[in-house]
Amino acid sequence: MAQEIKDLITKIQKEGVEEAEKQAGQVMAQAELSAEKIVADARAQARKIIEEADSEAGKVRASTDASLRQAGRDLLISLRKEINSMLEGLLKLNVSRVLTAEELTGIIKDLIKAAPLSLGSQIVISLSLQDKERLEKEFLRQLKEETKKQVVLKSAQEIDSGFIISFDSGKSSFDFSSQALADYISGSLRPELNKILKSV
């Protein structure tokens, strides 16, 4: 009987160990499956995070590039404006320096002599107040004698230097003011300047 109890205990122990091993195997298999799923989920999540980060970085890069391009365009536009403004100022200043009273007299005399005889007898010349006073003092009599025309000098506040001349008592006119001459010269130079600025 003692042997039977011993055999029974051995059998119970053996069955218990087998059952425990079986359950342990199942737990291990389930743990491995869970671990694989966790790793797969983690990898998928990591891929998603990387893709989102790449997408966001691409957007930031594109936005930065667009901002830099716009800033570059704005800078060039501003630079062109500044250079054109400087150019016009320099041209106007240099034209003003060149158009002395003597030069004005010579140019006006040549224009009047070259004008068709059919034009009216009164010629109206608008100048700056300073140039008008100088021409009246020094050159007006000589101008009238040489051209045989009635020449009327008028001062105009909008003229810094140069002159505006009318051969039909002011109905129409030709503008040789420093501003008009500077605009004309600047207009001729501007396309070349723009080519230079675009190539920079």
**Domain final residue pick, 75, 98, 121:** 98
Q: At what angle do helices 178-199 and 2-98 cross, to 10 degrees?
A: 150
Q: Which range, of 7-21, 71-85, 112-126, averages the lowest pLDDT? A: 7-21
The dihedrals phi and psi of 152, each to the nearest 5 degrees, come to -115, 125
Rounded to two decimals, what is the model's pTM? 0.52
At residue 62, the pLDDT reads 84
**Domain final residue pick, 98, 126, 154:** 98
Q: What is the pLDDT of residues 73-83, one digit of tens each?
A: 887 778 777 87
Q: Which amino acid is at 109?
A: K
Average pLDDT, the chain: 77
- Tell me the pLDDT band of 47, cut-offs 50, 70 and 90: confident
- Judged against a pLDDT cut of 80, whether residue 173 lies above it is answered with yes
Within this chain, do residues 114 and 94 fall inside the same structural domain, yes or no?
no
Give the structural domain span for 168.
100-199
At residue 101, the pLDDT reads 73
Within this chain, do residues 104 and 195 fall inside the same structural domain, yes or no?
yes
Mean pLDDT within 90-115? 76
Higher pLDDT, 13 or 100: 100
Q: Which amino acid is at 163?
A: F
Within this chain, do residues 70 and 145 fall inside the same structural domain, yes or no?
no
Residue 53 is classified by DSSP as H
Whole-angstrom CA distances from 95 to 73, 86, 100, 162, 180 are 32, 14, 9, 8, 10
In the chain, the percentage of residues whose pLDDT exceeds 70 is 78
Higher pLDDT, 45 or 118: 45
Are the C-beta atoms of 186 and 87 separated by less than 8 Å?
Answer: yes
At residue 132, the pLDDT reads 85
Within this chain, do residues 91 and 106 fall inside the same structural domain, yes or no?
no
Within this chain, do residues 92 and 31 fall inside the same structural domain, yes or no?
yes
CA distance 194 to 200: 10
- Judged against a pLDDT cut of 70, whether residue 49 lies above it is answered with yes
Within this chain, do residues 18 and 80 fall inside the same structural domain, yes or no?
yes
At residue 2, the pLDDT reads 67
**Domain final residue pick, 63, 98, 133:** 98
At residue 137, the pLDDT reads 79
Strands 174-177 and 162-166: antiparallel
Within this chain, do residues 64 and 107 fall inside the same structural domain, yes or no?
no
What is the residue-wise DSSP string for 88-132? HHHHHHHHHHH--HHHHHHHHHHHHHHS-TTS-SEEEEEE-HHHH
Residue 114: CATH number of its domain: 3.30.2320.30
Higher pLDDT, 88 or 56: 56
Distance of CA 35 to the CA centre of its chain: 59
CA distance 34 to 38: 6
In the chain, the percentage of residues whose pLDDT exceeds 90 is 0
Please report the sign of the dihedral spanned by the C-alpha atoms of residue 85, residue 89, residue 91, residue 95. positive
Mean pLDDT within 159-180? 82
Within this chain, do residues 187 and 170 fall inside the same structural domain, yes or no?
yes
Within this chain, do residues 105 and 81 fall inside the same structural domain, yes or no?
no
- The count of domains in the chain is 2
Higher pLDDT, 55 or 12: 55
- Judged against a pLDDT cut of 60, whether residue 10 lies above it is answered with yes
CA distance 82 to 147: 44
Within this chain, do residues 1 and 91 fall inside the same structural domain, yes or no?
yes
Higher pLDDT, 10 or 17: 10
